[in-house]
Amino acid sequence: MATFLYKLGRLAFRRRHFVALIWVALLTLAGVGAASAPPAGNSSFSIPGTEAQKAFDLLEQRFPGQSADGATARVVFKAPSGEKMTDAGNRATVEKTVDDLADGSEVASVADPYQGDAVSKDGAIAYASVKYDVSGMELEESTKDALEDAAQQARDAGLTVEVGGDALQAVPETGATEIIGIAVAAVVLVITFGSLVAAGLPLLTALIGVGIGVSTITALASALELGSTTSILAMMIGLAVGIDYALFIVSRYRAELAEGREREEAAGRAVGTAGSAVVFAGLTVVIALVGLAVVNIPMLTKMGVAAAGTVAIAVLIALTMIPALLGYAGRRVKPAGAKGRLLGRSRKGAEQPEGRSAGRSEGQPKANLGTRWASFVVRRPLAVLLLGVIGLGAAAIPAASLELGLPDDGSQPTSTTQRRAYDLLSDGFGAGFNGPLMVVVDGKGATSPNDAFTSVSDEIKGLDGVVAVTPPAPNKAGDTATITVVPDSKPSSVQTEDLVHAIRDAGGDVKADTGAETLVTGSTAMNIDVSEKLNDALVPYLVLVVGLAFLLLIVVFRSILVPLKAALGFLLSVLAALGAVVAVFQWGWLSGLMGVEETGPVMSMMPIFMVGVVFGLAMDYEVFLVTRMREAYVHGEKPNQAVVTGFKHGARVVTAAAVIMMAVFAGFIGSSESMVKMIGFGLAIAVFFDAFVVRMAIVPAVLALLGKRAWWLPRWLDRALPNVDVEGEGLRTAEERRSDPDEDRELVRT
């Protein structure tokens, strides 16, 4: 591995024009594809094999032409104070609005409030339901404009009018904080390298990689039915890992220059050593993201695969374009320890490390902060370990109260018309009106379908938590009917979930008596099934992803205990991060600071998505930090000294990488999409816990306690595993032979 990547790095350095041309061409091609591609369709929470999906499919089959997947809008009207919606003037305004809406070319139907019992009991609020032939993301702008214009005309007539539903669905915005995140990353890179050129390389390559990845996703969005959130998450993850991977290679390049190597040789060795760690770190992220397919939710699978593709691009760019750009940069990228005038050092001092004879003794390096911290940890490993574990355990306590759900209009900011429409409907018709349940009764197997329909309706009316039940509405064939049930609780509540299960249980009794099958669907039931599916898949997903990565890390570290410690540390950090998410988004702690206007259940995808992404990122830091420790141990240092050496070379750059990743993720907290906001916060706090508590404190403490046992591997397994040479041992030996053929340095192997 190291030898191949070494040759690749030198080749990219020499053929930099060709390499740069390839990546620019790919970026241009992806950009052209994205610009010419049709808009993405509306992604749905379809779950093959679940009852809600089965009912949805049955509706499309038995009620053809009703556009089951078409966009919907609820135009909600509120009368001025002291008036009612049934007053003649207000009624005339509403009826004119309904007529205007019905003229739209993509409108399937419009329900008049006065003919469909859609006026509240106190007469203050009414609503008109609009059904479209196409999904929200496929609606033409002229149709959306017509909807907004009709609502505005009713406002001009004196009514309060808001529009809910997905007809006005827009691509979520991330806000200015995303730019702030990138700016923070730039500042950290400048501080780390002390050079604008060296700092600019990781940013440039990361932006190119994200540009290619996101443009490709946009180009394929319509064909693969990718939602807008897919590209945002791919951008979030791709930008973070792209900067980090390039940062590690540039940092190693500067360290090789400080050892006195020529620039082409330094580029080759940087890619051969740090590049090997990048490959394995990237593999763990890709495994974690692609592994989301085991959940069997198409939208989540597509999100994971798209993000994994962006990570793969980031790895390839780091291995090829970084050495090419280093060739262009030449002497403008200084050796490690030589930061030039930007941070107050002279140019003369900056050039000193170019030769081996420069300055300080290699045997007595100046102790940096990482060295001092690691020395403290190896002296007090038990105290540091206990403090870290107890701290993360305390942060994880709120996770015990985790409630899962999916966002709806009630979780939108109060500044949006969708949220205001949601609140008006709740005020006028009750909290459960925003999440009605659709019960589908399949009477094909019943002796008397009509009797079965009536039995189901009567059973539902007798259940607790039901406000209203509409009469059964059969299809033309008379073998299937729909019944709308309005709960007395809001869609995302536990009470509504209990009602769904109660209806399904009652349907089982009806089937035993009549032979008719009862299915519950609708957006609320679909969300409940999504949450249950995700909960059921969490343990199998953990076993698969952690198991595969565990095997991969055994190959990398040639140890059993080091990968085991890495996996256990990850569990601590992800539980602590989930606890923080619950505290902010469910309990409301610091919600104002995070821009969370409505607390409620945590998004049901959050735990499994966080497990996948955070595990991959956690293994990044594990690989980058611990490979330097193993490299020192393999070359003869004692276990505790190897820990200190690993921190000496890796702590600064891992710290910079973690701060950059936190800044990038935190930038997405400003998104208008509640799901993106929650994921941005969750990943940022998870990186903080994992990088600074687990990898910087718990890992060295455990390694210090284990000593040589940390690197133990059964002999039979040692012989069976392939030697991937992540430490670049082969490169070091070959280089030593070339520089001094008489020197015979014996390498210590485990």
Identify whether the C-beta of residue 529 lies closer than 8 Å to the C-beta of residue 496. no
Taking the model in full, what pTM does it have? 0.76
**Torsional sign, CA 525, 542, 245, 389:** positive
DSSP class of 119? B
List residues bridging with 673 in a β-sheet.
none
Distance, CA of 236 to CA of 252 (rounded, Å): 25
Side chain identity at residue 163, one-letter code: V
Side chain identity at residue 60, one-letter code: E
532, burial (CB in 10 Å: exposed 0-12, middle 13-18, buried 19+)? middle
Task: Identify the three-state secondary structure at position 11.
Answer: helix
Distance, CA of 629 to CA of 621 (rounded, Å): 12
Tokens matching residue 203: 């940013």
Distance, CA of 507 to CA of 526 (rounded, Å): 17
Q: What are phi and psi of 588, to 5 degrees?
A: 95, 10
Distance, CA of 168 to CA of 418 (rounded, Å): 8
Q: What are phi and psi of 129, to 5 degrees?
A: -95, 130
What are the mean pLDDT values of the chain's consecutive 10-residue runs (750 residues total)? 86 92 93 78 64 85 68 88 90 90 83 83 89 74 87 91 80 60 81 79 88 86 72 81 87 86 88 85 84 82 87 93 90 71 45 40 56 90 94 93 76 79 89 86 85 89 87 86 88 86 88 87 84 83 81 83 86 91 88 73 81 77 81 82 85 84 80 76 90 91 90 85 68 51 39
Beta carbons within 8 Å of 21's beta carbon, 6+ residues apart: none
Place of tokens 């018309």: 417
Q: What pLDDT shows up at residue 159?
A: 92
Residues in the chain: 750
Identify whether the C-beta of residue 406 lies closer than 8 Å to the C-beta of residue 297. no
Distance of CA 92 to the CA centre of its chain: 48
34-56 b/e (C-beta count within 10 Å ≥ 16 → b) = beebeebbbbbbbbeebbbbbbb
H helices present in 80-176, as ranges: 88-102, 141-156
Cα-atom radius of gyration of the chain, to the nearest Å? 30
DSSP class of 164? E
Identify whether the C-beta of residue 407 lies closer than 8 Å to the C-beta of residue 603. yes
**Torsional sign, CA 43, 218, 285, 378:** negative
H helices present in 291-446, as ranges: 298-329, 347-351, 369-379, 381-396, 417-429
Q: What pLDDT shows up at residue 178?
A: 62
Cβ contacts of 178-184, under 8 Å, gap ≥ 24: 178/667, 178/668, 178/670, 179/667, 180/663, 180/667, 181/663, 181/664, 181/665, 181/666, 181/667, 181/668, 182/239, 182/663, 182/664, 182/667, 184/659, 184/660, 184/663
Tokens matching residue 454: 């009536």
List residues bridging with 165 in a β-sheet.
73
Distance, CA of 293 to CA of 276 (rounded, Å): 27
Tell me how far CA of residue 339 lies from CA of 134, 246, 348, 352, in angstroms: 59, 18, 11, 11
Place of tokens 């891992």: 654
Task: Identify the three-state secondary structure at position 405.
Answer: strand
Q: Which segments of 137-269 are extended strands (E)?
A: 160-165
